[in-house]
Amino acid sequence: MNPYQRYVLPKMIDIACGTSAVMALRAKIIPQATGEVLEIGIGSGLNLPFYNPDTVSAIVGVDPAAQMQKLARTRADDIAIPVEIIAVDVQGIHAATDRFDTIVMTFTLCSIADPIAALQEMARVLKPTGQLLFCEHGLAPDLTVERWQHRLTPLWKPLTGGCHLDRNIPALLAAGGFEVVALSEAYLSGPRALTYIYSGQARPST
């Protein structure tokens, strides 16, 4: 890992994913979590303050970026919910099938190398009655913006830890074993190639 990836990129991600508009999205979706939660790509722990201790019993956060964990652990210490943070990707948790009540995934699917395999693993460890709460940026519906996303992604990925601008989030969820039951789509303020947001709730396909 080079110095940029170790020291600069984590700070950039924490700032970019902690803007007021993004935090407003987190504040809307995270309180819907219940029971034992698996958070995919917990990063620096920006979601942690929004979990409701009256409805969430425990949180397991996974993220391959160990350099992000120090801040995540500090934020975990400030909430009244037990938090376990593991420096692995989603395939590395070795959790029991049907273990979790809720899976949370925010601004993470863009940078997972094999998103369908990761989603299939999430579906495996999620209870059949559980929920996946997601908030992700991805492929825009406007053809001009979409073309720019395809052009920019090869240049963008090396600078942002593998982030893809052009992933079709609903299609990936379906391919990974989920049925979307609630979905909101909108642009945030800022460059349109970077700011088309999908957020909502999905359940394991039956």
In the prediction, which pLDDT does 11 show? 63
Q: Give 179's strand partners.
A: 203
CA 107 to chain centre: 4
Fold of 3-204: Rossmann fold (3.40.50)
Domain ranges of the chain: 3-204
From residue 194, give the alpha-carbon distance in Å to each of 2, 153, 170, 187: 25, 10, 17, 9
Q: Are 63 and 47 in contact (CB under 8 A)?
A: no
The closest alpha carbon to 73, from 39, 48, 38, belongs to 48
In the prediction, which pLDDT does 70 show? 83
Centre a 10 Å sphere on the Cβ of residue 178 and count the other Cβ atoms it contains: 24
- Please list the pLDDT of the chain residue by residue as tens digits (206 residues): 565 555 555 666 666 677 899 999 999 999 999 999 999 999 999 999 999 999 999 999 999 877 778 889 999 999 999 999 998 888 888 899 999 999 999 999 999 999 999 999 999 999 999 999 999 999 999 999 999 999 999 999 998 889 999 999 999 999 999 999 999 999 999 999 999 999 999 999 97
In the prediction, which pLDDT does 2 show? 60
In the prediction, which pLDDT does 93 show? 85
- DSSP code string of 66-94: GGGHHHHHHHHTTSSS-EEEESS-GGGS-
The closest alpha carbon to 76, from 34, 131, 39, 106, belongs to 39
In the prediction, which pLDDT does 28 show? 97
Q: Are 130 and 78 in contact (CB under 8 A)?
A: no
In the prediction, which pLDDT does 1 show? 58
